[in-house]
Structure 1
Amino acid sequence: MKSFKGILFIIIIMCSSAFLWYFAKPIAPIHVLNKLSHMIAGLAITGFFLVFLLSTRIKIIERWFHGLEHVYVYHKYLAILSLVFAILHGQLQKMVPNWDKVQKTPFTELAKNFGEIAQYGFIALILIALFAKFLKYEHWRIIHRLLLIPYAFGLYHVYFSSRYDLLQPTPLGIFTASTATIGFMSALYMLTMYQDMRFKHTGKITGIRKIAPSAVELQLTLDNKLPYRHGQFIFLKIFQEGLEEAPHPFSITAGDGQKIVVTIKALGDFTKKVNTMIQLNTPIAIEGPYGYLNFEAGQQQQLWIAGGVGITPFLSYLTSAPSTQNIELFYSYRGQDDTIHTEFLQDYAKNNEHFKVNLIDTTQMDRLCFADYSVPAHTSIFMCGPEKMVKRYAKQFKSHNRDVDLNYEAFKFR
């Protein structure tokens, strides 16, 4: 997966911040330790600007990182890195000689207090977010939105406790004002406007089909056609009493754009309720599509690997038209309750000489391992499933061939 543009974007922004702080002229001469502390504070506030920008799901950013799940990876580690910078800044500032003797004003005293509030706020919220598996999805989203509060306190601290005049139109002043404004507006957009502005495709549920004890297929009929590519996913909001309205990501299993099908497996509180409570004619709204599993752009020889409900993007492609590419699918699942459409896959393999399927029930068989698997030349590999599974197989494939054509999406958006 290629994320070079996205990585380069992060490097350029962070290096620009360090460069501008290093060469900026302070209001009055300051100790070298104070200069270093200011530069690290600048990196912290710039890092949080990137954190908020990456959370907006802007299409061009998704393209730069080659997939939304990769955006979230850098979003997470940038938040941790920025927090480390903020803590380091606080510790360094205490070591600056005669720092307490600097002339104080009501603004600087308030800024100092706001800096401490911002630091503790970031620590608390980021630590809670890192333990997202213990939270309901809606609570996790609220905690992410609350990061705007310590960010606002942090910006006040940077502007009014700095030994640099950031209100002047210097290169550092312009850079700080630009990133602060974009970062703050990005966070405010996700907090107040995202839900209304981005979910433009509306419709209702016109079909419900139970396909497994813990999985249901929903047919969504949209008011306007949704252009999408097989293998992509959407964020879906369901407006039914008893179900949270927060958007959740689901792969498109089938459809023509006017009608689309999603498969929802009972994996958490929300999906369990959908599986038991969902009703016909329930209003819905969609945002997307997202995803970079492009089977049509792959090589003639393809290797597919799916885990559990990760089979859905592959089903979208197979149900669209008979495949002329040579495909071998490994479908791993844990027991019959975890499997989806195995009969369809077996029938498809019988009727299409270009397609081969391997069903792996891990309750009866050993887990898949590709450590010794030899990938034929000119083969594209596509994977979809739980994050741990996808990362494990990606590592195994790359250990044999660094240039392998590897395309994947993992189930983790927290």
Structure 2
Amino acid sequence: MKTYKGLLFIFITMIGSALLWYCATPIETISELNRISHIVGGLAITGFFLVFLLSTRSKILEQWFCGLEHVYKYHKYLAILSLGLVILHSQLQGMLPQRENGLETSFRELAKQLGTLAQYGFIVLIAIALLAKFLKYEQWRFIHRLLLIPYALGLYHAYFSSKYNLFQATPLAIFTAITATIGTMSALYMLSMYQDMQFKHTGKVTGIQKKGGNAVEIQFTLDQKLSYRAGQYIFIKIFQTGFEKAPHPFSISGGDGQKIFVTIKSLGDFTKEVNTKLQVGTQVAIEGPYGHLNFDKGHQKQIWIAGGIGITPFLSYLQAHPTDREIELFYTFHGPHNAIYKDFLQNYAENNTHFKVNFIDTTTMDRLTFKQYTVPVNTSIFLCGPEKMVKHFIKHFKSNYSAIDINYEAFKFK
């Protein structure tokens, strides 16, 4: 899954920012160290513009990065990079001789103080966000929203303490104004408009069926048909008392668009509540679909690897297509109670000579490995499951096969 367009967009934006700051003319003579400090500070502001832009779940950006999980990966990397640039900018400014500070106006003094405050704000909020596994999803989202505050302070600092005039119609000023505006609007959009504007598909829960010991299949009947491709996922908001308001992503495991199914396993606080407390008749809102698993674009020969609840995108395809492709599925799970849809997969294999399924129960069998397995030429590999598992197999296949076609989905939006 190539992300070249997305990476090229980031590269051009950051390099363009550096060149504009480097080529711009300051309002007074400054040292080379001060010029470097301004370039670093400008890159930090540009980096945070990209951070906010990538958080909008834009369909165009999703296509450029070949999946929303890649968008969020680079969103995280850019936040860390930008924070490092903010700290470096502050250190470089502290190394400047006093004479370079010039006459301190009230605006300039306030801008310096707000710049320091912005730095500390970024450090605290990003550090907390990186400890995502210790936070509930709603808490994590709230921390992200607060990043707009140090970003606004940083912009004030850039405009009123810079040795470059950002209020004139120069290429640097125009670029800064455009990125600052888009960055701020992106943050405000996610803060106040996203959930009202994007969750256009509404409906209700019309069926709940237990699948194994800790998973349920939920049927949603929508007011308007949802167009999706097998293998994609959606964000769901549940309007039931006691449930958090934040949307959560789940793979579509089947349906015709008017009625859709998702299968949810108890893995955290929210999914446990869904499994135990969700009621038929509850209103829901849906946004999406997302995802770039496209089985039809793969080779005639395909290897599918599913870990636990990662079986759901494959089910979506099998239930909609009596496949004529040569498919071998490796389904790994921990204990018989976690082998959801096992009967369906066995029956499908018995009635379709093109499909073969291998069940790997890690409580009684060795973990799945392909060390003794040779992947035939012109074979597409599709993976879905825990991030650690997906990364392990991607590394294995890429190190053992050249130019292999690998497609995967591994949700991690924290």
Calculate the TM-score normalised by the size of structure 1. 0.99
Distance in 2 of aligned mates of 1:314 and 1:346:
14
CA distance 1:168–1:212, shift in 2 (3 Å): same
2:155 maps to which residue?
A: 155
- Aligned 8 A contact 1:31 1:97 in 2: no
Counterpart residue identity of residue 373, structure 1: Y
Distance in 1 of aligned mates of 2:372 and 2:116:
53
**How many Å apart are 1:102 and its aligned residue?**
1.3
Q: Which secondary structure state, in structure 1, belongs to the residue aligned with residue 70 of structure 2?
A: helix
**How many Å apart are 1:245 and its aligned residue?**
1.7
1:292 maps to which residue?
A: 292
- Aligned 8 A contact 1:371 1:397 in 2: no
Deviation sequence 1:129-185 (CA, Å, 0-9, x none): 111011001000111111111100110011111000001110000000000000000
1:215 maps to which residue?
A: 215
Deviation sequence 1:81-125 (CA, Å, 0-9, x none): 000000000000001122564110111111111111111111111
1:239 maps to which residue?
A: 239
Alignment of 1:9-158 (within 5 A): 9-98=9-98, 101-158=101-158
Deviation sequence 1:30-56 (CA, Å, 0-9, x none): 010000000000000000000000000
Counterpart residue identity of residue 143, structure 1: I
Deviates more, 1:332-341 or 1:308-317: 332-341
Q: Which secondary structure state, in structure 2, belongs to the residue aligned with residue 411 of structure 1?
A: coil
Identify unmatched segments of 5+ residues in structure 1: none
Distance in 2 of aligned mates of 1:185 and 1:28:
32
Distance in 1 of aligned mates of 2:196 and 2:42:
33
1:380 maps to which residue?
A: 380
Counterpart residue identity of residue 132, structure 2: A
CA distance 1:138–1:99, shift in 2 (3 Å): farther
Deviates more, 1:398-407 or 1:28-37: 398-407
Deviation sequence 1:198-257 (CA, Å, 0-9, x none): 000000001111112211111000000000000000000000001112100000000000
Deviates more, 1:97-106 or 1:228-237: 97-106
**How many Å apart are 1:364 and its aligned residue?**
1.1
2:248 maps to which residue?
A: 248
2:307 maps to which residue?
A: 307
Counterpart residue identity of residue 56, structure 1: T
2:172 maps to which residue?
A: 172
- Aligned 8 A contact 2:30 2:100 in 1: no
Regions of 4+ moved over 3 Å: none
Q: Which secondary structure state, in structure 2, belongs to the residue aligned with residue 212 of structure 1?
A: coil
Counterpart residue identity of residue 186, structure 1: S
Distance in 2 of aligned mates of 1:305 and 1:345:
14
Give the aligned CA root-mean-square deviation in angstroms: 0.9
Deviation sequence 1:265-315 (CA, Å, 0-9, x none): 110000001100010110000000000000111110000000000000000
Deviates more, 1:364-373 or 1:195-204: 364-373
CA distance 1:342–1:161, shift in 2 (3 Å): same
**How many Å apart are 1:340 and its aligned residue?**
1.1
Alignment of 1:199-210 (within 5 A): 199-210=199-210
Counterpart residue identity of residue 162, structure 1: S
CA distance 1:136–1:88, shift in 2 (3 Å): same
Equivalences, count: 414
1:3 maps to which residue?
A: 3
**How many Å apart are 1:374 and its aligned residue?**
2.3
**How many Å apart are 1:369 and its aligned residue?**
1.8
Distance in 1 of aligned mates of 2:278 and 2:210:
11
Distance in 1 of aligned mates of 2:117 and 2:85:
15
2:273 maps to which residue?
A: 273
Distance in 2 of aligned mates of 1:215 and 1:31:
63
